[in-house]
Amino acid sequence: MLNISIASSFFIINGYGATVEIDPEFGQAPIIDGNIDDSTNEWKEAIKIEIQLIDLPIDLWVMQTNRELFISIQLDLESGYHNTTEFFGLLVSTNSSEDLEDFIDAKFVQFTNISANDFIYLDYYINNSVFLNDTRYDGEGAGSLEGSLSIYEFSIPIGLPNTNGENEDSISYDDENYAFNITYGDNPTYPQGIKKSEIVLIKINAPSEKKIILTTIVLVVLSIIVYSSIGVLFGFYIYKIFKLKEKIERLRS
């Protein structure tokens, strides 16, 4: 893959007013396949808002689990025309700062042929304004086109260790806001293909103590039930063996 040098004009930030802040809820992890399954209430727990990328409105859904952050972006063009190589990307800062040097992680869902729902998922590490392929691709991304609606889904791991000493993924457990630059474009080159973008702040919530305690209690109770059931079955099995032995001795006598 290409290493792409970028100038300070890389981030085409076109925000108006205060940056949107999102505090996601914990929920059941959705399947990252580019499709939203209403029959299973997928993305039910997500925070759902509309934001503007200049004059381009998008629906942004955000939720998390203990280990992953999930983001869905939906774009409905009134004209119904989507460029065949449309893409959305998430550029992630190491903190809540919107400074260029703090954005070190970039994840893209890039259509190669949107009419055929052909796409690729790309994971980059940004070092001194240069895009480098991550040593290891983390997270997932998928997209699809349904009528005039294009759907993008991302999962981003939380709290991964550094890879080969490089901090390629920026999100950790610390109950802090992280700046996300949501980028849209129609040409598979970065940054030249980026047409519009906007920054939002997303809070990464550490697992609450109550949830950890509840999970522990549930696991303990389940363990007690399972092992008690095994003990009862084992005792019944021994009982049946003794009864069978007594019956055999009576028949012999």
Task: Based on the fold, state whether residues 52 and 108 are members of the same structural domain.
Answer: yes
Among 188, 206, 224, the domain boundary falls at 206
Q: What is the pLDDT of residue 252?
A: 67
Q: How far apart are CA 148 and CA 6, in angstroms?
A: 32
pLDDT at residue 30 in the model = 96
Q: What are residue 56's DSSP bridge partners?
A: 53
- My answer on whether 178 and 237 are in the same domain is no
When divided into structural domains, the chain yields a total of 2
**What are the tokens at 208?**
């609450």
Q: Are residues 200 and 77 part of one domain?
A: yes
**Is the same domain home to 47 and 142?**
yes
Shared domain check, 152 and 233: no
Q: Are residues 53 and 113 in the same domain?
A: yes
Give the global pTM.
0.75
123 and 213 together in one domain: no
Q: How far apart are CA 6 and CA 130, in angstroms?
A: 6
Regarding whether 52 and 83 lie in a shared domain, the answer is yes
CATH number of the domain that residue 24 is part of? 2.60.40.1190
What pLDDT is attached to residue 168?
A: 63
How big is the CA angle at 30 (ends 166 and 125), to the nearest 5 degrees? 20
CA-CA-CA-CA dihedral for 47, 52, 56, 62, to nearest 10: -20
Statement to judge: residues 112 and 147 lie in one domain: yes
Residues 54 and 76 in one domain: yes
**Do 237 and 130 share a structural domain?**
no
In terms of residue numbers, what domain contains 221?
Answer: 208-253
Model pLDDT, residue 38: 85
Residues 202 and 249 in one domain: no
- Residues of the chain under the 70 pLDDT cut: 1-18, 79-80, 160-170, 172-174, 208-216, 249-253
Alpha carbons 60 and 42: distance in angstroms, whole number? 15
